[in-house]
Structure 1
Amino acid sequence: MKQSILIIIALFLFSGNVLSQIFVHDPVITQENDNYYLFCTGFGITQWSSPDMKNWTKEGPVFKETPQWVLESLTDFAGHMWAPDIIFHNDQYYLYYSVSAFGKNTSCIGVATNKTLDPDDPDYKWTDHGKVIQSVPGRDDWNAIDPAIAFDDDGQPWMSFGSFWNGLKLVKLNDDLTTIAQPEEWHTIAKRERSFDIEETEAGDGAIEAPFIFKQNGYYYLFVSFDYCCRAAESTYKIMVGRAKNIEGPYLDKEGKSMLTGGGSLVLKGNDNWYAIGHNAAYTFNGKDYLVCHGYDAHDNGRQKLIIREMEWDNDGWPVVDQTK
């Protein structure tokens, strides 16, 4: 059994193998020409490619070495880069990524750009632009991780982000997508109640993270993850949603409860096959809407695996995803 597990791990670590079930955490996807490209948490952010979103080839890390600005900004950085987002704008791809000390809001969000995502293209080269925002313990009651970019109806770019603390935030970006627009506008878009006896420097309870805003049906849908990841069989992650007519909110669930007071309607949670499901993104590819996330496989020692499911909409305009798989 141990030998089999080692073989599986070796296949996962070796670039170039085509796998149908891939071990990922915090996946995001984009499409370039006839290929899909997935990015996820790892040492240097891991990149995968696929012609069909079913069979995946590992392309390796985006960063072969940790950017120098990360080492200068975070004294207790452990090497992981977390929770990326990938978008195409201004004729290039923007890859946002989180660097942090686990369980602390000693965190930064950085961004890198590339003209193409095809590693075989001569123009393939990641250019790092450094830090976009930073959270500092004792100064900020929010955590600068889990970035996701969305555009409002006027084409204005915004970054949602956050994990635990005093909830999830939204900030306006300049059109270069690498700097915060001035004057700075910080909006809280979702949060859950925290215990009053915890210090501001502690994550505490009130578990909410991984915001992702998706425009559809005349609404901005705010997807978030409630409860706890990264605990294998003890994980309780689940995906919740609210919606608003304006990107700044207020985001309300199906019952009309604000996500500023713990509201959120269930989209997807664990079942007999998955201990927990969370940290999602949402996309439209070739005329179909998809929910992309990771789950903890109950039949494979709680390994974190990629989940992609078609997303439909009920008569009231709320997202519907198959709960039985």
Structure 2
Amino acid sequence: MTHEGVGPRPADPQGAYRNPVVNYSLPDPTVVRGDDGLFYLYATENIPNVPIHRSRDLVNWEFIGTAFDNATRPDFEPQGHVWAPDINRIGDRYVMYYSMSRWGGEWTCGIGIAVADRPEGPFDDLGMLFRSNEIGVQNSIDPFYIEDDGHKYLFWGSFRGIHAIELTDDGLAVAQGAKPQQIAGTAYEGTYIHKRGGYYYLFASTGSCCEGLKSSYTTVVGRSKYLMGPYTDRAGRPMADNHHEVVIHGNHDFAGTGHNAELVTDDKGQTWILYHAVSRANPDGRVLMLDRVTWRKGWPEVRGAEPSRLAERPAWKHRTRKQD
């Protein structure tokens, strides 16, 4: 697949990679590792019907198709688009939660579910899980699924508070009697929670996502000893009151650094974060970025709290993978 306006990339030094790792628009990434050992990435549908990309190393990505076609794409929100998918392996299936929304439709948007037997699809749309005006949470977008202590939960929300709710054992419906619980304040969207060393780390994005080079999107984090919080910054101030630590902000090369995917650990135990940004060299859309996360005194950090331009690649052992 080709993309207009994207020129040839300079050769990278041996053992290094260059940001962006995909130099065309792939906003709001989510990633899962398939049974074949390859990584599959999904994004907001700037490419219609939810683009799917595949990689062996998190650096080199190939477009392999879309989750839906024109006949199978979700349609419960009239004139809506699929935003910010979240991909998961639940049992023997790949389950994608997605936002279905149109710009400004904060009470009619909602979260839907699609399933597939393989990460490359095709996905079977199961329709709406809930809608904003039914669940009572305005702007119900940006889903994130997590399993904890034998239970399954969905987190979601966008600048109207981050909320969570328990799901059924198969992850395909809201648990009987479950009610939304607010987890964090009104400064955030794009939730992702990572468990490490006895803490839950709530990553989120704050600021404006979609104003091109004026975008102020910033990746932030808080932590808690409990999945449902309270999440706080280093000083113990609560995310419920919009306190947090900055993980990645913009720099002279990139603006709007936010909406990270799931963290990935390489074969050396190093942690990596995928996210999107607006490139000052190619400002049309939100390109795919990759950076290493280090852990210092129990907190995640990216070097300089800003995107790298040229950095050392993730470490992977040489393996032969079957690729259909």
Normalising by the smaller structure, the TM-score range is 0.7 to 0.9
Given the alignment, which residue of 163, 168, 176 partners 1:182? Answer: 176
Distance 1:5 1:172 in 2: 40
Q: Give the match for residue 144 of structure 1.
A: 140
Q: What is the percent sequence identity of the aligned residues? A: 31
Distance 2:138 2:185 in 1: 11
The DSSP-based 3-state class of the residue aligned with 1:136 is helix
User: Structure 1 residues 20 and 74 mapped into 2: Cα distance closer, same or farther (>3 Å)?
Assistant: closer
Distance 2:57 2:270 in 1: 13
Q: Give the match for residue 306 of structure 1.
A: 288
User: Structure 1 residues 50 and 214 mapped into 2: Cα distance closer, same or farther (>3 Å)?
Assistant: same
The answer on whether the counterparts of 1:142 and 1:168 sit within 8 Å (CA) in structure 2 is: no
The CA RMSD measured in Å over matched residues stands at: 2.2
Could you report, residue by residue, the CA deviation over 1:71-122 in whole angstroms, capped at 9, with x for unpaired residues? Answer: 3x423x24x210011111211111111111212212121111112124xxxx
User: Structure 1 residues 53 and 284 mapped into 2: Cα distance closer, same or farther (>3 Å)?
Assistant: closer
Deviation at 1:20, TM superposition (A): 4.8
Given the alignment, which residue of 34, 38, 43 partners 2:37? Answer: 34
Q: State the AA in 2 paired with 1:115.
A: D
Deviation at 1:298, TM superposition (A): 1.4
Given the alignment, which residue of 93, 112, 115 partners 2:114? Answer: 112
Distance 1:243 1:128 in 2: 34
* 1:1-20 equivalences in 2 (<5 Å): 6=4, 8=6, 20=22
Distance 1:47 1:292 in 2: 15
The answer on whether the counterparts of 2:257 and 2:277 sit within 8 Å (CA) in structure 1 is: yes
Could you report, residue by residue, the CA deviation over 1:263-307 in whole angstroms, capped at 9, with x for unpaired residues? Answer: 111111101111120011232333332211101111222531111
Q: Quick check: 1:230 aligned with 2:232? A: no
* 1:116-127 equivalences in 2 (<5 Å): 116-118=118-120, 124-127=121-124
* 1:162-241 equivalences in 2 (<5 Å): 162-165=157-160, 167-192=161-186, 207-241=187-221
Deviation at 1:161, TM superposition (A): 0.5
User: Structure 1 residues 185 and 107 mapped into 2: Cα distance closer, same or farther (>3 Å)?
Assistant: same
Calculate the TM-score normalised by the size of structure 2.
Answer: 0.82
Q: Give the match for residue 289 of structure 1.
A: 271
Calculate the TM-score normalised by the size of structure 1.
Answer: 0.82
The answer on whether the counterparts of 1:38 and 1:49 sit within 8 Å (CA) in structure 2 is: yes
Distance 2:290 2:87 in 1: 17
Distance 1:174 1:6 in 2: 44
User: Structure 1 residues 7 and 262 mapped into 2: Cα distance closer, same or farther (>3 Å)?
Assistant: closer
The DSSP-based 3-state class of the residue aligned with 1:151 is strand
Deviation at 1:22, TM superposition (A): 4.0
Distance 1:185 1:212 in 2: 20
Q: Which has the higher contact order (CA 8 A, sep 6+)?
A: 2
Give ranges in structure 1 of 5+ residues lacking alignment: 10-18, 119-123, 193-206
The DSSP-based 3-state class of the residue aligned with 2:42 is strand
Q: Give the match for residue 320 of structure 1.
A: 301
Distance 1:170 1:130 in 2: 20
Q: Quick check: 1:278 aligned with 2:237? A: no
Alignment coverage as a number of residue pairs: 286
The answer on whether the counterparts of 1:233 and 1:302 sit within 8 Å (CA) in structure 2 is: no
User: Structure 1 residues 54 and 247 mapped into 2: Cα distance closer, same or farther (>3 Å)?
Assistant: same
Q: State the AA in 1 paired with 2:276.
A: H
| Moved >6 Å (runs of 4+) | none
User: Structure 1 residues 36 and 236 mapped into 2: Cα distance closer, same or farther (>3 Å)?
Assistant: same
Distance 2:222 2:92 in 1: 31
